[in-house]
Amino acid sequence: MSVTATATLSSKFQISIPKAVREEQRWEAGQEFVFIPKGKGVLVMPVPELAQLSGLARGADTANYRERKDRY
């Protein structure tokens, strides 16, 4: 189910995330977010915890992998 809601930017440049959105996404107080510019809007995504990234690159092809020092 998709929830559509609106919020107003305060004079301190803060936005309260509507309760319906927080509950659907299971976002909690203190959670960290990243803001990704997309045209005239912004994509807001929670920053994953390290444990959530485990196995993300499993099976990746490392044949042409370069060390950071080789990039410059």
Written as one letter, the residue type at 10 is S
Q: Flag whether 57 is in a domain.
A: no
pLDDT in tens, the chain (72 residues): 567 789 999 999 999 999 999 999 999 999 999 999 999 999 999 998 888 787 877 887 877 777 777 665
pTM above 0.95, yes or no: no
Q: Flag whether 67 is in a domain.
A: no
Q: Flag whether 58 is in a domain.
A: no
Q: Write out the two tokens for 50.
A: 């390290």
Q: Flag whether 35 is in a domain.
A: yes
Check: CB of residue 44 under 8 Å from CB of residue 33.
yes
Check: CB of residue 24 under 8 Å from CB of residue 1.
yes
Q: Flag whether 63 is in a domain.
A: no
Q: Write out the two tokens for 24.
A: 């659907």
Domain encompassing residue 40: 5-9+15-48
Q: Flag whether 32 is in a domain.
A: yes
Instruction: Give me the number of domains the chain comprises.
Output: 1
According to the model, what pLDDT value does residue 32 have?
94
